[in-house]
């Protein structure tokens, strides 16, 4: 394991397979369970993640991003079984999930009754956007957490950034939000 230059956590050079069992992952799961925000890598972006069922945590994501509340968030889940607990799948959705998950495909489907995703994350809609990410760290975190997370890109809403810049800005913003409780 390559230690973080600041003496804690992981460095950008830490191999991905080591990250899946890194102690920081358990810390991230604990933070999510406590209603905190964490930075989560996916195969497409660094996401600003929160427990999808915790309305306060979801509100913190909207606030950190400056995202309008009418813009629903994607629920990231560990696998197809978890997706079925929050969304109603028809035959077509089943085929798409089988073909493209895990991966960057998001399916927008009717939500299950009592789906466990906060109404704020759904923007009051009767549907839920759901995906199973393919990044090993995201999958490991979702497996350990055992419930969906929302994880929109960690940049401010309406702004585009390269992944490294997004990660630096998001970590600072996430730490400020976490420590302001």
pLDDT of res. 147? 97
Average pLDDT, integer, range 14-34: 76
Residue labelled with tokens 């089988």: 98
Q: Would you place residue 108 in the very low, low, confident or very high pLDDT band (cuts 50, 70, 90)? A: very high
Residue 74 inside a domain? The answer is yes
Residue 9 inside a domain? The answer is no
Are 154 and 170 in contact, with CB atoms under 8 Å apart?
yes
Residue ranges making up the domain that contains 148: 16-179
**40-70 tens-digit pLDDT:** 988 888 899 999 999 999 999 999 999 999 9
pLDDT of res. 25? 85
Question: Per the structure, how many domains does the chain have?
Answer: 1
CA angle 135–137–115, rounded 5-degree value: 80
Q: Would you place residue 23 in the very low, low, confident or very high pLDDT band (cuts 50, 70, 90)? A: confident
One DSSP character per residue, the chain reads: -PBPTTSSSB-TTS-HHHHTT-HHHHHHHHHHHTT--EEEE-SS-EEEEEETT-HHHHHHHHHHHT--TTS--EEE-SSHHHHHHHB---HHHHHHHHHH-SSS--EEEEBPTT-SS-HHHHTT-SEEEEE----HHHHHHHHHH-S-EE--BSSPTT----HHHHHHHHHHHHHHHHHT-
pTM surpassing 0.85? no
**115-173 tens-digit pLDDT:** 999 999 999 999 999 999 999 989 999 999 999 999 999 888 775 655 555 444 444 44
Residue 72 inside a domain? The answer is yes
110: domain CATH number is: 3.90.870.10
pLDDT at 4 over 90: no
Residue 3 inside a domain? The answer is no
User: Kind of pairing, strands 149-150 and 46-51?
Assistant: antiparallel
Residue 95 inside a domain? The answer is yes
Closest to 148 measured CA to CA, from 176, 98, 97, 111: 111
Residue 2 inside a domain? The answer is no
Q: Would you place residue 81 in the very low, low, confident or very high pLDDT band (cuts 50, 70, 90)? A: very high
pLDDT of res. 177? 41
Residue 28 inside a domain? The answer is yes
Phi, psi of 67 (to 5 degrees): -90, 135
């Amino acid at each position: 394991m390559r230690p973080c230059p600041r003496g804690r956590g992981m460095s950008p050079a830490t191999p991905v397979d080591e990250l899946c069992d890194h102690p920081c992952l358990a810390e991230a799961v604990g933070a999510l369970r406590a209603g905190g925000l964490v930075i989560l890598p996916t195969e497409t972006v660094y996401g600003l993640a929160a427990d999808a069922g915790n309305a306060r945590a979801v509100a913190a994501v909207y606030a950190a991003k400056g995202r309008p509340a009418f813009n629903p968030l994607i629920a990231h889940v560990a696998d197809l079984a978890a997706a079925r607990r929050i969304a109603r799948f028809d035959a077509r959705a089943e085929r798409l999930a089988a073909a493209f998950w895990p991966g960057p495909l998001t399916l927008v489907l009717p939500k299950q009754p009592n789906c466990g995703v906060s109404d704020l994350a759904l923007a009051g809609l009767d549907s839920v956007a759901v995906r199973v990410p393919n990044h090993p760290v995201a999958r490991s975190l979702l497996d350990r957490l055992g419930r969906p997370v929302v994880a929109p890109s960690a940049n401010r809403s309406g702004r585009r950034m390269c992944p490294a810049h997004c990660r630096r800005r998001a970590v600072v913003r996430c730490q400020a939000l976490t420590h302001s409780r």
